[in-house]
Amino acid sequence: VMPLFFSFLYLLMNIVASLPKDHKFYVSTTTLDFKEASASIQITSQFFIDDIEMLLREFHEEIQLAPDSDKTKVDVLFEGVLKQYFRIQIDNQDQDFNYLGREYKNEILQCYFELNVPESAQILRVQNSMLFSLFEEQQNILHFKSKEGRKSALLYKGKEHEVFSLY
């Protein structure tokens, strides 16, 4: 009985050791904070580092994050990917945002960018399809904050944008 138990235990440990070490869910969060006084939206996004690394490797195979293989190259690639998959319209006009930078916090890549809001703007449309091309299960959560309160939305493949009222 004892050898059978140890054989089973050995088999179980090998199975567990061979399981993928990746996280089991695919989610990002983005907070859009509308600052009426400065007519800007401050944006913070959080992604799993390994997911962004996999996405960037579609453009440059040798890229590595945390630690970065080449900080300048990572910034250029990441900003390009961000502008490809994260788009903002105000009153049906495409807007360009300013990429401010990024940092690592444990397993998370946190990035910052900002958008100037035109005077008399009313409607904000946010598209975030980051990582949808890699993961069917990817979900991107949006939190929009203004003096009116906080609204949240869940984006996924097939529902890639949300509309918020600025006032």
Can the peptide bond before residue 3 be classed as cis, meaning omega within 30 degrees of 0? no
User: Cα separation of 165 and 162, whole Å?
Assistant: 10
9 by DSSP, 3-state: which? helix
User: Cα separation of 142 and 30, whole Å?
Assistant: 5
As beta bridge partners, residue 102 has: 111
What pLDDT is recorded for position 7?
Answer: 52
Contact criterion met (CB below 8 Å) for 65 and 74: yes
Above 60 in pLDDT, residue 31? yes
Q: Global pTM?
A: 0.83
Percent of the chain with pLDDT over 90: 80
